[in-house]
Amino acid sequence: MGAIKTRELANGNIELEITYGGLEAPFGGVDTSAPPAYIDPKCFAAVDGFIVVDNKLVVASFNSYATSPLWSSTAGVTLIGFGNFYSLNYGTLNYALGYKTSSFSGPPSGVQYTFYMTAWNPADITEVYNDTLVFSLYNTATPATNASVTLQLLTQGTIPGGNGAVASITGIGNVNIGPGPVIETIVGVVTAVSVLGGTGYTVGETLYLVQGNNTTAQVTVSAVDGSGGITAVTINAASYSIPFGGNNYKMA
């Protein structure tokens, strides 16, 4: 990097003279690189007011800033990162992002991730905005189990029918509606159902399973007990496209 000259001093010490640049530059010409590094971070056990960056002294100080209570003070949240972003309504906001996990046994089993983000105005930390996002990952090796859903059971006609029966959906599938030049496929309709119990039903009575204003399935009572409780029904496979509305029904 340069020329080194030595000279013995009167006290017996050796003086070193190091010349940089000029003809002594590593590849000729003038050496315009940064001065050689004189500071080795390993030389410092404790420093105050500066840090060593690229073997050079850099003035530094640490200041404490107040923040909002992060994530509604939820315990066990792991910090992912922090920073700031611009909001059209509130200007520049600081934020802190974290997450927390919890396992569930199912079935199906898996892990639930809850992500937390707290945003605040650095000029007024009392303005806190807390948001959470919940996301679950399911174990694909968990055996599938039957699900259940509860729908309204309605009777058609002005004459009140029975009441109190419970419908249990046991099959879901796709149904093709035709005939015609275009056959419509209805996805996820009820293909099998068990309706039992209640009082006041009669054989041959038509019942509808209704989701909102849409017919999910139509069944006919095929057997009842002594009090009119349903013991068996048959499902009408041709009923899936029948609209159901108006006031000509009642809750069963």
pLDDT in tens, 75-103: 999 999 999 999 888 889 999 999 999 99
Q: What ranges do the domains of the chain cover?
A: 2-59, 70-138, 152-251
Under 8 Å between Cβ of 252 and 161? yes
Q: Which helix (H) or strand (E) holds 232?
A: strand 230-235
Per-residue pLDDT of the chain (252 residues; tens, 9 = 90+): 556 778 888 888 888 776 655 555 455 555 556 655 555 666 665 666 777 777 677 777 767 777 778 898 899 999 999 999 998 888 899 999 999 999 988 777 899 999 999 999 888 887 778 999 999 998 887 776 666 666 656 655 445 568 888 888 777 777 666 666 666 676 667 778 888 888 888 898 888 776 665 666 788 899 999 888 899 988 876 555 444 444 333 333
pTM over 0.75: no
Under 8 Å between Cβ of 235 and 219? yes
Residues 6+ apart with CB under 8 A from 209: 151, 152, 153, 154, 167, 169, 190, 193, 215, 216, 217, 218, 219
pLDDT in tens, 171-214: 777 766 666 666 667 666 777 888 888 888 889 888 877 666 56
